[in-house]
Structure 1
Amino acid sequence: MAESLLSSIAESVLGKIASPALQEAVAIYNIENQIRELRETLTAIKAVLSDAEAQQAKKNGLQVWLDRLQHVFYDAEDVLDELECEALRKQVTSRFGGIKGKVHRFFSLSNPLMFRAKISHKIQGIRERLSRITTEKDQFDLNVQSADNGVAHTRSREMTCSFINKLDVIGRNIDKEKIIKMLMQSDDKNLSVLPIVGIGGIGKTTLAKLVYNDDRVKEQFELQLWVCVPEDFDLKKTIEEIIKDATRQNLSNFDIQQLQNFLQDIIKDKKFLLVLDDVWSSDCTRWKELRDLLTGGASESKIIVTTRIVEVTSIMGTHPVYNLKGLSHEESMALFRKWAFDEKEKELRPDLLEIGNDIVKKSQGIPLLVKTLGSL
């Protein structure tokens, strides 16, 4: 359905704009005004997408309008990715300035003023195209939905799922085995919570996925659930997402009392594993409300929480915190080679490997940084 896809793309772009990484890039190149105008235009269009989807079969030209909109959304994503990537390269060059000259050449940048002019021109072009499309929507007499509070936008780009290609993961077997051992241990708690803590990009979500998809874990738990938690830990939304993952049903029109009853019916007397991924809020009241709802499962049910914030673990955790560390240099190099070189290459260039070795030494074993540098 066009609206479902377009809403997802629109929220993705808005989430990218609101992300700390993009905001930092915006500040570096001093293009706050252009990005603000782009966000406002996107928000105006997103407000009519639901009605546009519902009306597309009845109104001539509406499907063409939606198709054009989709192309512009994709172009907007590309421009924002280019901006973020260039800002990252600028930071890497500054941070690794003491490395050999070949690394400087590897990360050579165009004139920052020229790049700012180029990216500003592209953003202006995107906004002008969106503005024309916004004007054209008036001919379809579409209803405008009230905008939400914007919290979801900041998280939409980062929403996760439980799927993982295990072949893409390097160096987390020991961590995985330790977590699985903790999950398998018997305890006297009806519901245990195991927090995984680490800095951004260290691989907390990847580790949780490896554990979640392990065959031993699947045999241990009758019900497995995966939820990427809203940044403000909205209780109703979190319950909705748990139910959606368990039943594939969207119950957003239900009130919170109905949702609580539905959730309790789902987990009743079942031994479940719930992953609450990327928790930011340390609101102990909301966490207690959710925990109390989840105590209806069978004994020895488990929750894995991934978070960057130590305070979250003190509120939510019952197991000792698992502090996730960076990869070893050898593991980082293996990951770097996987992202930097074509898999078909039988012989890797020694000069490029030497450059990669210098870069990886400075990556501190952070997988996301290693992959980003390798892909550049």
Structure 2
Amino acid sequence: MEGAMVSASMGVIKSVLTKFATLLEKKYKLIKDVKKDIISLRDELSSMNALLTKLSDMEALDVQQKEWRDKVRELAYDTEDCIDIFMHKIGDGGAKAGIGNRLKEAKARYNIAGLIEELKSRAVEISDHCSRYKLDEGISGSSGHHAVAIDPRIQALYVEPANLMGVDEPRSKIIRWLMEEEMKQLKVISIVGFGGMGKTTLANQVYNKCKEHFDCTAFISVSQNPDLIKVLINLLSELGYHVSHFD
């Protein structure tokens, strides 16, 4: 069971590392300082993944190792959410014309700068926690944190929608479910799978194809332990309301 939990955390990190590669492409036009923070965060997560690889071979983890593993997993989920939301807001990298779209893209770039800085600080804190309590001691073959190479097959797990293989059938099925008459009532459709399988990409494609048929739409990413106030603010923002806080 412990090995499965660690492996799941590793799967999320590998997905995030692949998305970092996409995010650093020139078309997203990130400012220099943000790129530095992204590279720093990517390297921290890569080193954490190296230790998780070693933890996955252990039959049982102690309390501190479990706590560290959970913190790493939450960091990976929150980082993935941050990247997904940014890519969704920027779309094809700024091809849309109009002052309104340019202002939205500028705001998205400003927002990701603050979020990445916050995530990087969390990553450093988690890394310091590992060193402080020497969590890697006693693990067979451990010699500290070393970045590991990313399996090239992982690149296929998060790709541009046009190149995502095998998505047509599930996309059509979900769209059909959403457009059926009985779906007029409030419903929840779950897309389930391991991290990095393309769930967010699939959900985004469904959203883009269906949103014209609904009066109100929003694409919101939620972590496992969400800040509900932020979720509601993001939801209202997607619906066209400008809210920075709740009284």
TM over 0.5, shorter chain:
yes
Q: What TM-score do the two structures reach when normalised by structure 2? A: 0.56
Residues 162 and 156 of structure 1: CA distance in aligned 2, closer, same or farther (over 3 Å): closer
Give the conservation status (yes or no) of the 8 Å contact 1:25–1:84: no
Per the alignment, residue 131 of structure 1 pairs with: 124
- Which amino acid in the other structure matches residue 46 of structure 1? N
Which structure: greater strand fraction? 1
Q: Give the aligned partner of residue 7 of structure 1.
A: 10
Q: Which has the higher contact order (CA 8 A, sep 6+)?
A: 2
* Distance change in 2, residues 1:335/1:70 (3 Å): closer
> Could you tell me which residue of structure 1 aligns to residue 86 of structure 2?
83
Q: CA deviation at 1:26?
A: 4.4
DSSP 3-state at the match of 2:103: coil
Higher fraction of helix? 2
d(CA) in 1 for partners of 2:208 and 2:53?
Answer: 42
Aligned twin of 1:24: 26
On the 8 A contact 1:79/1:119 being kept in 2, the answer is yes
TM-score by length of 1: 0.38
| Larger-gyration structure (1/2) | 1
- C-alpha displacement of 1:52: 2.0
C-alpha displacement of 1:17: 0.9
Cα offset, 1:153, TM superposition? 5.1
Q: Does 1:109 align with 2:103?
A: yes
Query: Given residue 40 of structure 1, which amino acid in structure 2 is its aligned partner?
Result: D
CA distance in 1 between counterparts of 2:9 and 2:43 reads 17
Deviation at 1:122, TM superposition (A): 0.8
Asked if the contact 1:56–1:62 (Cα under 8 Å) also holds between the matched residues in 2, the reply is no
Could you say what secondary structure the match of 2:94 adopts?
helix
Flag as ranges the 4+ runs of structure 1 deviating above 6 A: none
Q: Residue 163 and residue 89 in structure 1: after superposition, are their counterparts in 2 closer, same or farther (change >3 A)? A: closer
Alpha-carbon separation, structure 2, partners of 1:128 and 1:56: 31
Matches within 5 A, 1:159-308: 164-165=169-170, 166-168=172-174
Q: Is the Cα contact below 8 Å between 2:90 and 2:108 reproduced in 1?
A: no
Offset from partner CA, 1:317-340 (integer Å, 9 cap, x none): xxxxxxxxxxxxxxxxx9966244
CA offset at residue 6 of structure 1? Answer: 1.0
Cα offset, 1:116, TM superposition:
3.5
CA deviations 1:243-292 (Å, max 9, x no partner) are: xxxxxxxxxxxxxxxxxxxxxxxxxxxxxxxxxxxxxxxxxxxxxxxxxx
Q: Answer yes or no: is 1:35 the counterpart of 2:29.
A: no
Identity percentage over the alignment? 16
Q: CA deviation at 1:161?
A: 5.9
- Counterpart among 70, 78, 82 of residue 67 in structure 1: 70
Query: Distance between the aligned counterparts of 1:56 and 1:137, measured in 2?
Result: 19
- Alpha-carbon spacing, 1:119–1:149, altered in 2? closer, same or farther (3 Å): closer
CA distance in 1, matches of 2:82, 2:208: 25
CA gap 1:89/1:62 in 2 versus in 1, 3 angstroms:
same
Pick one of 180, 204, 210 that aligns with 1:338.
210
Question: Quick one: which amino acid aligns to residue 210 of structure 2?
Answer: K
**1:192-224 CA distance string (max 9 Å, x none):** xxxxxxxxxxxxxxxxxxxxxxxxxxxxxxxxx
Cα displacement (A) at 1:45: 0.7
Distance 1:41 1:152, change over 3 A: farther
Note the alpha carbon deviations across 1:292-338, whole angstroms, 9 max, x for none. Answer: xxxxxxxxxxxxxxxxxxxxxxxxxxxxxxxxxxxxxxxxxx99662
Q: Distance in 1 between matches of 2:89 and 2:213?
A: 20
- 1:56–1:63 CA contact under 8 A, matched in 2: no
After superposition, the Cα gap between the structure-2 partners of 1:68 and 1:146, relative to the gap in structure 1 and judged at 3 Å, is closer
Secondary structure at 2:74 match in 1: helix
- Cα 1:146/1:162, change in 2 over 3 Å: same
- C-alpha separation in 1, matches of 2:158 and 2:93: 23
Count of residues in Structure 1 that have an aligned counterpart in Structure 2: 173
Query: What is the distance in 1 between the residues matched to 2:30 and 2:211?
Result: 27
Residue 127 of structure 1: how far off its partner (Å): 1.2
Question: Which residue is 2:60 aligned to?
Answer: 57
Return 5+ residue gaps in structure 1 as ranges.
Answer: 98-103, 171-333, 343-347, 353-375
Cα distance in structure 2, aligned partners of 1:17 and 1:160 = 21
Aligned partner of 2:148 in structure 1 is 147
Distance change in 2, residues 1:65/1:56 (3 Å):
farther
- SS of residue in 2 equivalent to 1:47: helix
Q: Which amino acid letter does the alignment assign opposite residue 82 of structure 2?
A: V
Distance 1:130 1:22, change over 3 A: same
Q: Which residue of 1 aligns with 2:222?
A: none
